Amino acid sequence: MTNREITIVHLYPEKMNIYGDNGNVLVLKRRLEWHGYEPHVIDYNVGDAFPEHVDILVGGGGQDSGQISIHDDLMKVGPRLQELADHDTPMLLVCGLYQLFGKFFKTADGTNLKGIGIFDIETHATNERLIGNVISHNDTFGDIIGYENHSGQTYLGERAQPFARVKKGAGNNSQDKHEGARYRNVIGTYLHGSLLPKNPRIADFMIEIAVRKRYGDFSPQVIDDLFADLARDVASQRPR
């Protein structure tokens, strides 16, 4: 294999990037290097030409105002994102972009922000802010540790699969104990923190899919996750 490049597209880093969500891109980049690949990160912001080639796509959270400012552009690139999702591209969308990958987000002033509908979910602003440390569980990834801060509450439609089940905290809403959603290799989650430094299994899952899709096989290196494990221990013992 001569070419080992993997392209990560970071969706709207200027407007959608809070509570350290940028750390997800840093982790993917560094772990790709540790596995012997050459990451190439493209920032995609409002008005940019959408990249020709995408191996991994990552997007973060933002205030309602950030969501409103990227909304028109997201509607334009939505069909391309749907096509990538349907072709099994690994993607991670946190909080504000998770909401807009769904059917709609109804904001506190009643505005109905249409989403791109990759997830069969809907989100409604509430007066209750769900804030604090979260532990959720997924059969593939085990315990997932992160931090949530959102007033939008999300409900899954019939075609949506939850990403994880909440053990501590709220997750999608204050009722059903679902956290996030999953469509093919697209993961939507409320968890900041950032997520991937404390959940490297999710990062390696995304990397493995991207590398196999592009190059046919993947031979991972053994990575020493001592610090990630220590961070997981500390974070999981924090009070809500």
Number of residues that bind ligand GLN (CB under 6 A): 11
Find the catalytic residue in 10, 35, 95, 150. Answer: 95
192 in active site:
yes
Please name the residues in contact with 98: beta carbons below 8 A apart, sequence gap of 6 or more. Answer: 61, 119, 154, 180, 181, 188, 189, 190
Per CB under 6 A, the list member of 23, 59, 62, 180 interacting with ligand GLN is 62
Query: For the window 11-50, what string marks contact with ligand GLN as x by the rule CB under 6 A?
Result: -------x--------------------------------
Subset of 133-152 contacting ligand GLN (CB under 6 A): 149-152
Question: In the stretch 151-170, what mask flags binding to ligand GLN with x, by CB under 6 A?
Answer: xx------------------
Across 29-76, where does the E strand assignment appear? Answer: 38-44, 56-59
- Exactly one of 7, 24, 64, 122 binds ligand GLN (CB under 6 A); that residue is 64
**Nearest residue to ligand GLN on Cβ basis:** 61
Stretch binding ligand GLN (CB under 6 A), from 33-41, 58-66, 178-186, 221-229 = 58-66
Taking the least distance from each CB to ligand GLN, the nearer of 150 and 178 is 150
Candidate residues 5, 48, 53, 63; the one interacting with ligand GLN per rule CB under 6 A: 63
Is 95 labeled as catalytic in the residue annotation? yes
List of long-range contacts for 229-237, beta carbons under 8 Å, 24+ apart: 231/197, 231/198, 232/143, 232/145, 232/198, 232/199, 235/133, 235/145, 235/193, 235/198, 236/133, 236/135, 236/143, 236/145
Residue from 96, 115, 162, 169 touching ligand GLN (CB under 6 A): that is 96
Q: Which of 23, 39, 59, 61 binds ligand GLN (CB under 6 A)?
A: 61
Phi, psi for 234 (deg, rounded to 5):
-65, -50
Between CA 182 and CA 172 the distance in angstroms is 13
When the beta carbons of 15 and 198 are compared against ligand GLN, the nearer one is 15
- 3-class DSSP assignment, residue 30: helix
For residues 25 and 236, give the distance between their C-alpha atoms in angstroms, rounded to a whole number. Answer: 22
Query: In angstroms, rounded to a whole number, what is the distance separating the alpha carbons of residues 119 and 102?
Result: 5
- 89 vs 17, 159, 162, CA distance in Å? 21, 19, 18
> Residue numbers of the site for ligand GLN (CB under 6 A)?
18, 61-64, 95-96, 149-152
Residues identified as active-site: 95, 192
